[in-house]
Amino acid sequence: MPDAASLDDRVRRAALENAVDHEGVAHVSAVMARLLATDPSLRPRAEEVRGLVSAAVAELRDVPLPELEDRLDALGGRSARRAASGGTAGGEFPDLPGARDGAVVLRMAPFPNGVLHIGHGRLLFVHQHYRERYHGRILLVFDDTAGSEEKRAEPEFFQLIQEDCELAGVRPDAVFYKSDRIANHYPWARRVIDRGAAYVCTCPAETLRENRARGIACAERTQGPGEAADAWQRMLDGGFAAGEAVLRLKTDMADPDPAFRDRVLFRISDVDHPRVGRRIRVWPMLEFSWAVDDIELGVTHVLRGKELVIEDRMQQFIWTLLGISGPPFLHWGLLRVREAKVAKSKTNLEVRRGIYDGWDDPRTWSLRSLDRRGISMAALRTFILSFGMSLSDIDVAAETLYAENRKAIDSTTVRRAFVPDPVRVEVDGYPADLGTVELPNHPDRPALGTREVRAGPAFYLPRRDLLQHVGEEIRLKDLVNVRLPAAAPDGDRLRAEFTSRENRRLPRLQWVGADGAVPVDLLGIDGAHASGVAEAALGSAPPRDIVQFERVGFVRVDGRGNAGTPPVRVVFGHP
């Protein structure tokens, strides 16, 4: 844990770097995120760190950008940016056991009850990494078994998930549906029964759970192969109602893991399935279905989260029982982005109720919501792969992803002025020759050119800034100096006085010329809408164009809702 002196230095450096990155204005949340992401030992001291960060940001608030850059240079320039919490650039990916180039077959198996979100990033990009490494194939196999009343396959997600794969650049070589393959599983069930390893159980669900927890076998466990086969056929012929009977595997009733004791292989369900209706009533549990499909579909390696280890045991148990050599399993740990509150059921409900404005609402943290915000799938892939195949659970700040995206887009993204909660300010004595000014599209990239910006004598300034600098002399960024009135604005208009053109050390305020200002609706990550105005050039930005609002952050012109009439809708990406 760093001592007080070194922590002060790190906070100061991080605040300076953030201020230089954002046209002289540091953001407390972004500085906090970077510090906690790069040093998890600081998390128990988060409140102390926040106090230091807030003080550092306040100290830098009115410092001109050139001086900020000088101060950063005096500290030795920018510090190295490490991936957060266990991640290293280009994380480690072990060789796949026994893999042969051109012969690797992998499978991704989403349940179709929601779109793919940031948590599925590891599923997508780890599979893609190994496909590219071995010139192999990826199968997309929908795990659309009967599910339950609480978790049901829904028809629209079959197509939406394929679109998500396309968006991520992870295009499957073949697509399968578990619901099309159910008949293939029945002969395998009969093979298990014929080996005396399965029986039909009619215990009530609660009794089954209690007996399993206590290690007590139900009376039907004594069924021989013939008796079990007859009861199994009765299940297939409709002789039992839904919930009345299940096919169970005979494992060790004294197994240390109660969940592994005589697990259910098949159950009866009358749920109306979106692809097969009620034509199928006897459904395999997922681990049995994969014991079958991983063999029949030719899967060579199974890659998945370590939380599915019991599924590994089940598949291996069945393969050993039937004398089959199945593919090896490789696992990764949980990767959680702290700010991403991902919950499929809640997301689906909020979308259907109209609370969220679609599957790409920023609050969903879906892949399509990240794309809508201007976060590239290439940056997401780099972020995901930086953690390799680590089995450790990783808790990381979104800032780490944002840093990757920033590196990818900053040098090619033009700047535009934006003013939230604007107040119209008339500047008395404003120079007549400054009706327009030529400003660079990027402060460090001359190749991106310049644009002509309409200026005074009337401007829009942020109400928050005006309230902070009542009666003070301020500088309209990159333009002129003015003195604000002694009274705080109590409406949407006020008057100020021109003082000079000289670039002096004064608080710098963002502005938008009132002539030609474009109304803007800014959709935030939290789903809230903020109103403001932007310079006229934003009005010609095409849908999905990414720009950086100076002193705000990167935004993407919304791909929907911009039909040429104001306001221009944009979606906030990140600082």
> Closest Cα to residue 88, out of 390, 393, 408?
390
Q: Are 568 and 562 in contact (CB under 8 A)?
A: yes
**Beta-bridge mates of residue 304:** 331
Q: Using a pLDDT cut of 70, give the percent of the chain over it.
A: 93
Asked if pLDDT for residue 33 goes beyond 70, the answer is no
Asked if pLDDT for residue 344 goes beyond 90, the answer is no
Q: How far apart are CA 238 and CA 242, in angstroms?
A: 9
90 or 210: whose pLDDT is higher?
Answer: 210
Report yes or no on 522 lying in a domain. Answer: no
Report yes or no on 48 lying in a domain. Answer: yes
Asked if pLDDT for residue 573 goes beyond 50, the answer is yes
Asked if pLDDT for residue 363 goes beyond 60, the answer is yes
Asked if pLDDT for residue 387 goes beyond 80, the answer is yes
**Region 205-234 average pLDDT:** 93
Distance in Å from the first CA to the final CA of the chain: 28
The residue with tokens 């101060």 is 71
The values of phi and psi at residue 35, to 5°, are -65, -45
Angle at 508 between CA 502 and CA 513, to 5 degrees: 85
Task: Give CA torsion, residues 481, 482, 484, 485, to 10 deg.
Answer: 160
76 or 104: whose pLDDT is higher?
Answer: 104
Q: How far apart are CA 263 and CA 352, in angstroms?
A: 35
Lowest mean pLDDT among 206-210, 244-248, 345-349, 354-358: 345-349
The DSSP symbol for 570 reads E
CB-CB neighbours of 436 under 10 Å: 14
> Closest Cα to residue 380, out of 405, 350, 362, 349?
405
The pLDDT of residue 249: 97
Report yes or no on 164 lying in a domain. Answer: no
Report yes or no on 39 lying in a domain. Answer: yes
Lowest mean pLDDT among 30-39, 170-179, 289-298, 547-556: 30-39
Report yes or no on 57 lying in a domain. Answer: yes
CA–centroid distance for 109 within its chain: 19
**Region 67-71 average pLDDT:** 81
Q: Using a pLDDT cut of 90, give the percent of the chain over it.
A: 70
**Region 441-466 average pLDDT:** 93
> Closest Cα to residue 341, out of 179, 117, 519, 138?
117
> Closest Cα to residue 16, out of 37, 30, 2, 36?
30
The pLDDT of residue 76: 62
Structural domain ending residue among the three candidates 74, 106, 129: 74
Asked if pLDDT for residue 506 goes beyond 80, the answer is yes
282: left (phi over 0), alpha (psi -120 to 50) or beta: beta
269 residue type, one letter: S
The CATH number that applies at residue 201 is 3.90.800.10
Q: Rg of the chain's alpha carbons, rounded to an integer?
A: 30
Structural domain ending residue among the three candidates 230, 253, 286: 286
Q: How far apart are CA 431 and CA 265, in angstroms?
A: 82
Structural domain ending residue among the three candidates 264, 286, 308: 286
Q: How far apart are CA 32 and CA 258, in angstroms?
A: 44
Mind listing the pLDDT tens digit for each residue in 231-289? 999 999 999 999 999 999 999 999 989 989 999 999 999 989 999 999 999 999 999 99
The DSSP annotation for 356-411 comes to SSSTT-GGG-BHHHHHHHT--HHHHHHHHHTTTT--S-EEE-HHHHHHHHHHHHGG
Q: Which helix (H) or strand (E) holds 438?
A: strand 436-440
Report yes or no on 366 lying in a domain. Answer: no
Mind listing the pLDDT tens digit for each residue in 138-177? 999 999 998 666 678 899 999 999 999 999 999 999 999 9
Report yes or no on 43 lying in a domain. Answer: yes
**Region 515-531 average pLDDT:** 95
Asked if pLDDT for residue 180 goes beyond 70, the answer is yes
Residue 111 pLDDT level (bands cut at 50, 70, 90): very high
The CA-atom distances, in angstroms, between 12 and each of 9, 35, 39, 99, 537 are 5, 11, 15, 49, 35
- Looking only at the bridges linking them, the beta strands covering 174-177 and 137-142 are parallel
Average pLDDT of the chain to the nearest whole number: 90
The pLDDT of residue 176: 98
Cite the DSSP H helix spans in 22-85.
28-38, 46-60, 65-74
Residue 40 pLDDT level (bands cut at 50, 70, 90): low
Q: State the residue range of the domain holding 15.
A: 4-74
Residue 88 pLDDT level (bands cut at 50, 70, 90): very low
The pLDDT of residue 49: 85
The values of phi and psi at residue 462, to 5°, are -70, 130
**Region 512-516 average pLDDT:** 94
The pLDDT of residue 89: 38
The residue with tokens 């050993």 is 320
The DSSP symbol for 340 reads -
Cite the DSSP H helix spans in 39-64.
46-60
Look at the chain and report how many structural domains it folds into.
2
Burial of 390 (0-12, 13-18, 19+ CB in 10 A): middle
**Region 494-519 average pLDDT:** 94
72 or 480: whose pLDDT is higher?
Answer: 480
The pLDDT of residue 62: 82
How many H helices and E strands in the chain? 16, 27
